[in-house]
Structure formats: structure tokens, C-alpha cells
Amino acid sequence: MKKEFKITGMHCGSCALSIDFDLEDLDGIKSAKTSYAQAKTEIEFDQGKVTEEMIVQTIQKSGYKAEFSKPLNER
Ligand SMILES: [Cu+2]
């Protein structure tokens, strides 16, 4: 499934890249596309392997704040 999370605390494009990097390290994350300009991240993940809580915690461990957002339509 694919979901969007709002992120606060990013201050440049490399923050977004490091969030992608940390997220893609998690088992069950297929892709992470973080946008600094839009202060959000789009994550495609396997619900059987990773929970939204784990995603939010991972972002927090990287030093940013994340909140749950809306599900995205899958194509
Ligand atoms: Cu930065």
C-alpha cells in the first residue's frame, strides 16, 4: 500500500534524501519519496512487514517529526 506522511523539521533537500535512505533500509518498504519542498513523504510499503508506527518512528529517529496522512490511490 502507498501512504503519504507529513514531515516537519526538514531544512534542506539533503534532509529529504537522508529520510529516504533510512526508510528504504527498513524491511517492507518498497519505496520512499520524500519531498523537502512539500514537507511530505510518499511511502510504498508492505503492511505485513512494516507498520505505520514503525515508519513514523524511523523518521523520528532520523531527527524529524512525522504524522500520519492520507492513503494514496494505487496504480
Ligand atoms: Cu537538511
Kindly give the distance from the C-alpha atom of residue 66 to the centroid of ligand 1, in angstroms, as a whole number. 15
CATH number at residue 31: 3.30.70.100
In this predicted structure, the answer to whether residue 65 has a pLDDT above a threshold of 90 is: yes
Kindly give the distance from the C-alpha atom of residue 2 to the centroid of ligand 1, in angstroms, as a whole number. 25
Sheet order of strands, 2-8 included: 29-35, 40-45, 2-8, 65-71
Structural domain that includes position 63 = 2-71
Structural domain count, the chain: 1
pLDDT for 48 equals 96
Kindly give the distance from the C-alpha atom of residue 19 to the centroid of ligand 1, in angstroms, as a whole number. 10
Kindly give the distance from the C-alpha atom of residue 43 to the centroid of ligand 1, in angstroms, as a whole number. 20
- Within 8 A by CB and 6+ apart from 27, the residues are 49, 50
Banded model confidence at residue 68, pLDDT cuts 50, 70, 90: confident
Kindly give the distance from the C-alpha atom of residue 1 to the centroid of ligand 1, in angstroms, as a whole number. 28
Q: How far is CA 25 from the centre of its chain?
A: 11
pLDDT for 73 equals 65
Banded model confidence at residue 69, pLDDT cuts 50, 70, 90: confident
pTM of the model: 0.87
**pLDDT tens digits for range 14-34:** 999 999 999 999 999 999 999
